[in-house]
Structure 1
């Protein structure tokens, strides 16, 4: 059996468990951040254990696919998104879309169009990235003197205005980690917004082209 088929088999088997692990990671991180002042210490420690265990699964998956690819150090360059996901496990639930596609194929149902798939990926990525960024910024900012982001609601509002590239400026991070999150969020916001806009424009152009073909008289 060649390396490509071995890698494909591994990815099919690992997709669902890793998507579940990522959701557990996200939920545990949220509980840890939002409940650190009110929840019992053992529960906070349990959330930390779940987070570390989930992250370890991502690292194992990355290492196995690196080994099966046979590409050596080129794997990190060619699969840069997978490398980012290892560093930012909150994005791992995006793989749920791949699980959905696999189920659709097994049932013999038509796959999603490329434009719809891109918009679904971008929308899901925006939600996951925004929620993770809101948690992170709230954790870094809400206790700092002079901070304008005091509640989780403030953090969500800041994320929405930043991710949509509006940037009202009424709330801004003042810590170095918070500003690093802002830089990443601004870059991702531009990329995701461009992906959705381009895919939607392409979808409209295809629809108009099909309508034009159906209205055109035969032989013209």
Structure 2
């Protein structure tokens, strides 16, 4: 999409507000999961907020589809990330990369190198994915028969071990939903780890190549 298209203008206007809305969605979900003694009034407020924010994300998805045009299924396939974050709103904060692109269009050229940006985005995405996954798995595992994940601290430890591909095995999901979430986190962890290590390796290769090019020829 070119910068003057209706789609690009819509993205520039809505990406930052929607990112803030996604953080609010995450906060409301975290409150419902972690605040077990929350008064029923505030529990209802969080529930209505989750529904309203999800509807906001769905409206954004439909508007983007109408701006692009074409068949709905084709749009859903070609804009896979948008489709995923509508189905799984907890993953919407992972759209940090398009958010940065929108900010840079307003402020000029990026200040960080490409490799630094990839590492920064992947690191932030890992933190957001880990926290969201820990919340979802903890909700699924809490009170399940034979569950080894008894506290949210256990869930955070499990998420860190899963995303880092260490997998100690001291805490494992026992429910079907918990294992499904774990599978997605494993795939996400591998992808993010590959992005960081690949970018760092490429940066090192460029440094070493530059140093070898600047050395004077030996007589």
- With structure 2 as the length reference, what TM-score do the two structures score? 0.90
Judging changes above 3 Å, is the alpha-carbon distance between structure 1 residues 109 and 3 closer, same or farther for their aligned structure 2 residues?
closer
1:140 aligns with 2:140: yes
TM-score (norm 1): 0.89
Number of matched pairs = 215
**C-alpha distance 120-3 of structure 1, shift in aligned 2 (>3 A):** closer
Mapping of residues 145-184 of structure 1, within 5 Å: 145-184=145-184
Q: What is the CA–CA distance in structure 2 between the aligned matches of 1:201 and 1:154, rounded to whole Å? A: 33
1:125 maps to 125
2:137–2:181 Cα contact (<8 Å) kept: yes
- Cα deviation, residue 3, structure 1: 10
User: Hey, what does 2:81 align to over in structure 1?
Assistant: 81
Within a 5 Å distance, the mapping from 1:1-220 to structure 2 comes to 5-35=5-35, 37-72=36-71, 73-216=73-216
CA distance in 1, matches of 2:112, 2:142: 42
Structure 1 contact 140–175 (Cα < 8 Å) conserved: yes
CA RMSD of aligned residues (A): 2.0
- Answer yes or no: is the 8 Å Cα contact 2:115–2:203 preserved in 1: yes
Distance 1:81 1:48 in 2: 25
Asked if structure 2 preserves the Cα contact closer than 8 Å seen for 1:55 and 1:86, the reply is: yes
1-structure distance, mates of 2:89, 2:81: 11
Higher mean Cα deviation, 150-159 or 85-94?
85-94
